[in-house]
């Protein structure tokens, strides 16, 4: 530990390997008789622009074997008479775009009910493919009612009622003899969809698909074939698409056309809708054609991510998941899971623009996989645990140097885990580094344990320990270690051809290596058309990424209303039991030892780069998983920077490396190139193309301004010192300014527009300010910062129920409607509310002028309390909430603290900290076991779920319950003192002190502080 540094006590969060009582490993559903349906119905619905976003019009096309046989329009039940007349005239004057010989030539106009009948016929009777782009939204437009899904598979989702009937007295009634459609939102690209069961199903509906006997089966439920092209495009490209971008990416000829949407029905708008359906259908054929090239045993309607595709390829190669083909002691899974951390990412020079060379590792995860030889574990007949002597582990670590790590053979010796008692070692730590952000972040810090008890030691993957040795020069205190060893090879292995073009033989090829090599070979293959080369390149990239990491770390969160008993494997040899609401179970190919080794090895690679840079006296501006912006200029030299150890003009400075030095560092990484040099020559550390002018190809000086992890921008400066951000199509191949933390906000100048250039505008202002150049106030600074999210679950819908009461479905806020969300400014909360449990949402409104006049609803209040908002004034009042303006958000963004790092004095980085940061010193102050970090984080970002604390599952280990030690102290504190300092009422405190009530996490933390003060006072 650096002299004079006092470590900050922090409670850590450690990942646990949970096994819910109802079974940790669910069998993959048997694929029965799947054959792509001959029939397909593509649809798209348009809505009004009011809060209800009710159906106005829509259209569908019905296809048999790719031939369009029917096209019709449909309209909402309560469409204005004038709008209906326009539709009626339209269908009389426009033919249907159907097959000339076999199709119905007339375009027809159907009511919503008639359309739903058609939908039922195709989706349920015909078992056809229902295709749309963002299907949940379209299906909820044509529904007549909704509820919470009851089926466990769809728990936490909606069930939509599409089919109703008029009874004898003309009242509409739900048709209970028809299924509902259950939809469970996963994230913005994916949702589970399926039919629910029906009452008294017809015998013909109980005949399974593809049945050769035609025999009904009592327990058979047809779930439907709902194909959301948004999901399939994501599966095939690993990126989110709009209909427009997907059409462009897959060469759809009849792509989307632009239209100004005012919610009224016009012939132009009908044309627009029909064109969307045509584009959707063509896109479906293109995507299915692309999907078929993979030739995997996976229904396209069941493919939810590139990982699904990756897993299907492993199955095709005859590779069963490790945990399903053998027994593996679960405590080792727990050890490995506790050693799991995400990628290394942080700002190192904060809010000071510095010249950099931007570097990036070639396919980081596949590369470290190949270096460590992890493929042999994936294909091993048996993976076993071998205990290592402490001395053996220490010997390995003692020999770690940069030179040793540049020997590829070293990496394959690192497939081990060790339990260490940290004592100022640089290790990944997951903690809530600041009270403000209140979320878990992973930092690479000096870590020290409180005591010397081996039981308090933490498990780390050996690459993390090697990185610590590399950066500190000291070997951590190891108390226990084990290695994983791969024995033999599976006999079930089979060679496959990836996307019909690249042959992989799992017996002799390292899959990860082969895919990356073939990707590079493609670039020079003249036998392929440009389009085919591009598609194949993308496909291989998706496969490499999908199979090289995520599937081994996959944990699936279960949604439910009841607590479930779980057996948890953590850092101790014996598991503990607890009950949690949303437990996780391991994904199909989940194998924590591999997941932890892969990310640890990636961190080691960055540590090695850091060491190379610092050995030359240099430093870096930021790092992000597989990239680093190294401070460098053409000739190198000193650059003024607060916190720097050098001096320039009597001011602190840092040393910039020369471009030649950075090139030499990159050259050193050539030794770690695990690929066939004929395919991929050179170093795996790439000097990115961003460092070259796209027009001239000449090297250029990049600058970097980093604020905190994942918040940075790269830019160039002209001769006059005027900055220009790196922007796609302007001066670079890609945008190089982060949208992290801003992406969820609506465009402040045009809320309906998807144009994100306002973020570039904001970044440029921040950059200019950091360069002390004049800036103009942004036009939108004073506007209320509003984000858009969707009503993705019944829980989000709950506070909106009051707005729906007594209204017909069309007028209600429906599932998957957009809603508005805004963020309350500090001290802006209304009087009397708990800021932790207060979050405002409002029905969707595109007119920004109305936002401050509307009623906003507290998502947490049981009765849906309503408030007004304002973006001016210092604070809120009883019914008025002071929310953040875009200016507030951007200021917060600009001053967002990198709290996992320390300033040059060793204090936690605060909002005002600028300059060179350093690692914090952390003392372990206990820990919590948590589930996966990425649960619903997308929704948190969008504002759909107010706090991270709502999405983490904490698994309380009764053996490490600090409340047991805290309670006796709390009992000793006089009640009036407790009442005064804790803000809790007397009755609650009495219940807590008597042991009848356990305090909430926040109250527990408060009581802890009071108790420690009391003890300090009480102890002599």
Partner 1 sequence: MAQRSNDPIGTAVRKSKTRRRVGQGVICSQCGESRAEALVARSRPKLCMQCYAVRRGKKTTETHHFAGKANSKITVEVPANDHRTLSDAQYEWPAGVLSNTGASPLLAAAAFLNGTADFIENLIVNSIRYVADFLRRLDTWLRERAGQFWWRGTEFDGWQPG
Residue 575 contacts residue 567 (beta carbons within 8 Å): yes
453 binds partner 1 (CB under 8 A): no
Please report how close the Cβ of residue 203 comes to partner 1 at its closest, in angstroms: 8
Tokens 């190919």, residue located: 589
Task: Give the residue with the Cβ less far from partner 1, 204 or 777.
Answer: 204
| C-alpha pair distances (Å), 572 with each of 334, 427, 480, 581 | 8, 19, 12, 23
**983-991: long-range contacts, CB 8 A cutoff, minimum separation 24:** none
Query: If you write DSSP's letter for every residue of 228-261 in order, what string do you get?
Result: EHHHHHHHHHSS---HHHHHHHTT-SS-------
What are the C-alpha distances in Å from 347 to residues 290, 433, 742? 40, 15, 18
Query: How many amino acids of this chain bind partner 1 (CB under 8 A)?
Result: 24
Contact 579, 565 (CB under 8 A): yes
In the complex, minimum distance from the CB of residue 65 to partner 1, in angstroms, rounded to a whole number:
11
* 3-state secondary structure labels for all residues of 691-710: HECCCCCCECCEEEEEEECC
Interacting stretch for partner 1, rule CB under 8 A, among 97-105, 235-243, 341-349, 691-699? Answer: 97-105
Of the candidate spans 212-220, 467-475, 590-598, 883-891, the one that interacts with partner 1 by CB under 8 A turns out to be 212-220
CA torsion, points 31, 36, 37, 42, in degrees to nearest 10?
Answer: 120
CA distances from 137 to 49, 131, 222, 743, 794 (A): 14, 12, 22, 21, 15
Given the complex with partner 1, which of 121 and 423 has the nearer CB atom? 121
Q: Which residues pair with 39 in a beta bridge?
A: 64
**Closest CB 62 distance from partner 1, rounded Å:** 6
Distance between CA atoms of residues 954 and 623, nearest Å:
29
Q: Which is nearer to partner 1, 206 or 795 (CB)?
A: 206
Strands 441-448 and 921-930: parallel
* Identity of the residue, 115 or 226, whose beta carbon is nearer to partner 1 in the bound complex: 115
Residues 64-93 binding partner 1 (CB under 8 A) are: 64, 69-70
Name which position in 5, 186, 201, 207 contacts partner 1 (CB under 8 A).
207
Q: Out of 4, 29, 214, 451, which residue is the one contacting partner 1 (CB under 8 A)?
A: 214
| Angle at 573 (CA atoms; ends 568, 576), nearest 5 degrees | 30
Q: Which position among 102, 150, 677, 807 is part of the footprint of partner 1 (CB under 8 A)?
A: 102
* Closest distance to partner 1 from the beta carbon of 32 (Å): 12
Q: Among residues 125 and 532, whose Cβ is nearest to partner 1?
A: 125
Closest CB 140 distance from partner 1, rounded Å: 22
With 0-12 CB in 10 A as exposed, 13-18 as middle and 19+ as buried, what is 609?
Answer: buried
> Near partner 1 by CB under 8 A, which window of 205-213, 770-778, 779-787, 837-845?
205-213
Say how far residue 326 (Cα) sits from the centre of its chain: 31
Q: Least distance in Å: CB of 243 to partner 1?
A: 25
Minimum distance between the CB of residue 38 and partner 1, rounded to whole angstroms?
Answer: 8
Q: Which residues 185-204 are close enough to bind partner 1 by CB under 8 A?
A: 204
CB closer to partner 1 out of 220 and 440 = 220
If the CB atoms of residues 207 and 556 are measured against partner 1, the closer one turns out to be 207
Q: Are 649 and 640 in contact (CB under 8 A)?
A: yes
CB 91, min distance to partner 1, A: 16
In this structure, are residues 236 and 542 in contact, taking their beta carbons and an 8 Å threshold?
Answer: yes
Residue 9 tokens read as: 């006590």
CA-to-CA distance for 612 and 887, rounded, in angstroms? 40
Least separation in angstroms between residue 562's CB and partner 1 is: 38
CA distances from 516 to 235, 508, 525, 547 (A): 19, 16, 15, 12
With respect to partner 1, which residue has the nearer C-beta, 222 or 332? 222
Tell me the window of 207-215, 416-424, 517-525, 972-980 that interacts with partner 1 (CB under 8 A).
Answer: 207-215
Choose, by CB under 8 A, the member of 27, 30, 101, 776 that binds partner 1: 101
Helix (H) or strand (E) holding 463: helix 462-472
CA distances to 85, 642, 799, 858, 875 from 864, in Å: 40, 49, 5, 6, 22
Q: Among the residues of 719-800, which ranges form H helices?
A: 757-770, 794-797
The nearer residue to partner 1, 99 or 852, going by C-beta atoms, is 99
- Interacting stretch for partner 1, rule CB under 8 A, among 101-109, 320-328, 505-513, 709-717? 101-109
CB of 70 to partner 1, least distance (A): 5
Footprint of partner 1 on 11-50 (CB under 8 A): 33, 39
Specify the residue, 126 or 501, whose C-beta has the smaller distance to partner 1.
126
Q: Measure the CA–CA gap between 667 and 660, rounded to whole angstroms.
A: 10
- What are the backbone angles phi and psi of residue 347, rounded to the nearest 5°? -95, 140
Closer residue to partner 1 in complex, CB, 109/597? 109
In the shown chain, the binding pattern of residues 601 to 640 toward partner 1, with x for contact by CB under 8 A and - for none, equals ----------------------------------------
The window from 74-82, 209-217, 467-475, 851-859 that contacts partner 1 (CB under 8 A) reads 209-217
3 state SS for 934-970: CCCHHHHHHCCCCCHHHCCCEECCHHHCCHHHHHHHH
The closest alpha carbon to 137, from 816, 814, 679, 747, belongs to 816
Please report how close the Cβ of residue 130 comes to partner 1 at its closest, in angstroms.
13
Binders of partner 1 among residues 113 to 152 (CB under 8 A) are: 118, 121-122, 125-128
- CB contact at 8 A, 183 and 170: no
Tokens at 409, concatenated: 């053979």
Beta carbons of 588 and 551 less than 8 angstroms apart: yes
Q: Name residue, tokens 């209800």.
A: 52
Nearer to partner 1, 125 or 615 (CB): 125
Work out how close the CB of 163 gets to partner 1 at its nearest, in angstroms, rounded to a whole number: 15
Binding mask 48-67 for partner 1 (x = CB under 8 A): --------------x-x---
Closest CA to 790 of 188, 261, 145, 155: 188
Closer residue to partner 1 in complex, CB, 207/848:
207
Which CB sits closer to partner 1, 105 or 251?
105
CB 860 to partner 1: min, Å: 47
Nearer to partner 1, 126 or 848 (CB): 126
Q: Shortest gap between Cβ of 92 and partner 1 (angstroms)? A: 17
Residue closer to partner 1 (CB basis): 122 or 252 = 122
Contact range with partner 1 by CB under 8 A, out of 151-159, 211-219, 251-259, 289-297: 211-219
- The pair of three-digit structure tokens given for residue 910, joined into one six-digit string: 């605060």
Query: Whose structure tokens read 């951390």?
Result: 341
Q: What is the torsional sign of CA 457, 461, 464, 465?
A: positive
> Contact with partner 1 (CB under 8 A): which of 7, 58, 103, 944?
103
> Which is closer to partner 1, CB of 104 or CB of 947?
104
Segment near partner 1 (CB under 8 A), from 100-108, 507-515, 714-722, 890-898?
A: 100-108
Nearer to partner 1, 211 or 242 (CB): 211
- Cβ–Cβ < 8 Å for 131, 281: yes
What are the DSSP E strand ranges found in 65-98? 67-75
Alpha-carbon distances, residue 156 vs 74, 227, 611, 621 (angstroms):
31, 21, 47, 42
What's the closest the beta carbon of residue 95 comes to partner 1, in angstroms? 14
Interface residues with partner 1 (CB under 8 A)?
Answer: 33, 39, 62, 64, 69-70, 101-104, 118, 121-122, 125-128, 204, 207, 210-214
């Amino acid at each position: 530990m650096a002299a004079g540094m006092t470590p900050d006590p922090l409670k850590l969060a450690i990942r646990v390997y949970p096994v819910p009582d109802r079974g940790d490993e669910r069998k993959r559903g048997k694929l029965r008789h799947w054959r792509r349906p001959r029939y397909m119905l593509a649809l798209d619905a348009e809505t009004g622009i009011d809060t209800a976003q009710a159906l106005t019009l829509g259209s569908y096309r019905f296809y048999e074997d790719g031939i369009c046989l029917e096209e019709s329009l449909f309209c909402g039940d309560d469409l204005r008479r004038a709008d209906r007349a326009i539709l009626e005239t339209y269908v009389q004057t426009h033919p249907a775009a159907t097959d000339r010989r076999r199709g119905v030539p007339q375009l027809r106009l159907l009511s919503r009910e008639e359309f739903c009948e058609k939908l039922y016929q195709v989706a349920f009777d015909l078992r056809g493919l229902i295709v749309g782009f963002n299907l949940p939204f379209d299906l909820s437009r044509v529904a007549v009612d909704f509820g919470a899904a009851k089926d466990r598979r769809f728990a936490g989702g909606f069930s939509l009622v599409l089919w109703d009937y008029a009874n004898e007295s003309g009242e509409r009634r739900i048709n209970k003899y028809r299924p509902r459609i259950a939809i469970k939102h996963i994230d913005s690209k994916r949702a589970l969809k399926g039919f629910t069961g029906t009452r008294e199903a017809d015998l013909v509906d109980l005949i399974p698909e593809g049945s050769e006997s035609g025999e009904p089966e009592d327990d058979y439920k047809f779930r439907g074939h709902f194909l959301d092209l948004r999901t399939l495009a994501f599966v095939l490209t690993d990126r989110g698409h709009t209909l427009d971008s997907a059409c462009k990416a897959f060469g759809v000829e009849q792509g989307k056309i632009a239209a100004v949407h005012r919610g009224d029905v016009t012939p132009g708008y009908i044309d627009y809708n029909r064109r969307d359906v045509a584009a959707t259908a063509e896109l479906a054929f293109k995507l299915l054609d692309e999907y078929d090239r993979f030739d995997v045993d996976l229904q396209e309607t069941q493919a939810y991510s590139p990982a699904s595709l990756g897993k299907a390829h492993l199955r095709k190669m005859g590779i069963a998941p490790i945990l399903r083909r053998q027994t593996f002691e679960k405590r080792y899974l727990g050890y490995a899971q506790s050693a799991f951390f995400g990628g290394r990412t942080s700002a190192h020079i904060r809010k000071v623009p510095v010249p950099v060379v931007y570097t990036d590792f070639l396919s980081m995860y596949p590369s470290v996989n190949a270096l460590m030889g992890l493929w042999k574990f994936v294909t091993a007949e048996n993976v076993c645990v071998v205990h290592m002597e402490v001395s053996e582990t220490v010997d390995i670590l003692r020999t770690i140097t940069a030179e040793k790590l540049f020997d590829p053979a070293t990496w394959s010796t690192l497939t081990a885990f060790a339990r260490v008692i940290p004592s100022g070692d640089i290790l990944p730590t997951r903690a809530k580094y600041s009270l403000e952000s209140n979320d878990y972040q992973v930092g690479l810090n000096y870590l020290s344990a409180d005591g010397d008890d081996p039981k308090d030691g933490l498990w780390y993957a050996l690459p993390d320990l090697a990185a610590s040795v590399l950066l500190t020069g000291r070997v951590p205190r190891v108390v226990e270690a084990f290695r994983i060893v791969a024995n033999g090879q599976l006999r079930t292995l089979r060679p496959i051809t990836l996307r019909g073009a690249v042959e992989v033989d799992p017996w002799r090829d390292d899959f990860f290596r082969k895919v990356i090599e073939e990707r590079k070979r493609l670039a020079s293959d003249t036998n392929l058309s440009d389009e085919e080369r591009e598609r194949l390149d993308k496909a291989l990239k998706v496969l490499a990424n999908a199979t090289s990491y995520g599937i081994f770390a996959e944990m699936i969160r279960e949604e439910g209303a009841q607590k479930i008993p779980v057996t948890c494997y953590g850092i101790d040899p014996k598991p503990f039991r607890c009950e949690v609401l949303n437990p996780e179970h391991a994904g199909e190919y989940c194998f924590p030892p591999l997941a932890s080794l892969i990310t640890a090895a990636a961190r080691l690679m960055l540590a090695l780069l850091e060491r190379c840079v610092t050995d030359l006296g240099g430093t870096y501006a930021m790092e992000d998983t597989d990239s680093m912006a190294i401070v460098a200029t053409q000739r190198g030299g000193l650059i003024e920077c607060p916190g720097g150890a050098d001096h320039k003009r009597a001011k602190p400075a840092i040393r910039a490396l020369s471009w030649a030095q950075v090139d030499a560092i990159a050259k050193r990484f050539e030794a770690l190139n695990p690929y066939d040099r004929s395919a991929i020559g050179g170093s795996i550390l790439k000097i990115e193309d961003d460092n070259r002018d796209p027009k001239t190809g000449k090297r250029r000086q990049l600058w970097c301004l980093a604020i905190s992890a994942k918040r940075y921008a790269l830019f160039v400066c002209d001769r006059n010192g005027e900055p220009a951000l790196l922007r796609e199509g302007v001066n670079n191949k890609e945008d190089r300014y982060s949208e992290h933390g801003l992406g969820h906000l609506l465009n402040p100048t045009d809320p309906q527009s998807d144009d994100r250039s306002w973020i570039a505008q904001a970044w440029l202002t921040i950059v200019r300010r950091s360069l002390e150049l004049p800036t103009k106030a942004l036009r939108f600074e004073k506007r209320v910062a509003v984000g858009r999210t969707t009503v993705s679950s019944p829980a989000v819908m709950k506070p909106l129920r009051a707005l729906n009461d007594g209204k017909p479905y069309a007028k209600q806020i429906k599932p998957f409607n957009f809603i508005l969300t805004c963020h309350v400014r500090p001290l802006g909360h209304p009087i009397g509310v708990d800021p932790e449990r207060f979050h405002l949402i409002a029905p969707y409104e595109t007119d920004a002028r109305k936002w401050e006049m509307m009623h906003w609803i507290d998502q947490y209040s049981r009765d849906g309390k309503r408030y007004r908002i304002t973006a001016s004034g210092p604070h809120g009042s009883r019914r008025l909430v002071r929310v953040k303006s875009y200016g507030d958000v951007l200021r917060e963004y600009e001053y967002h603290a990198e709290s996992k790092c320390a300033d040059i004095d060793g204090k936690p980085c605060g909002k005002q900290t600028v300059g060179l940061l350093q690692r914090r010193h952390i003392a372990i102050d206990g820990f919590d076991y948590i589930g996966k970090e990425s649960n619903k984080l997308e929704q948190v970002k969008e504002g759909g779920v107010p706090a991270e604390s709502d999405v983490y599952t904490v698994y309380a280990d009764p053996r490490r319950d600090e409340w047991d030690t805290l309670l006796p102290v709390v009992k000793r504190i006089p009640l009036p003192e407790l009442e005064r300092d804790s803000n809790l009422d007397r009755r609650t405190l009495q219940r807590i002190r008597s042991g009848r009530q356990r305090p909430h996490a926040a109250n527990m933390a408060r009581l802890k502080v009071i108790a420690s003060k009391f003890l300090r006072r009480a102890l002599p």
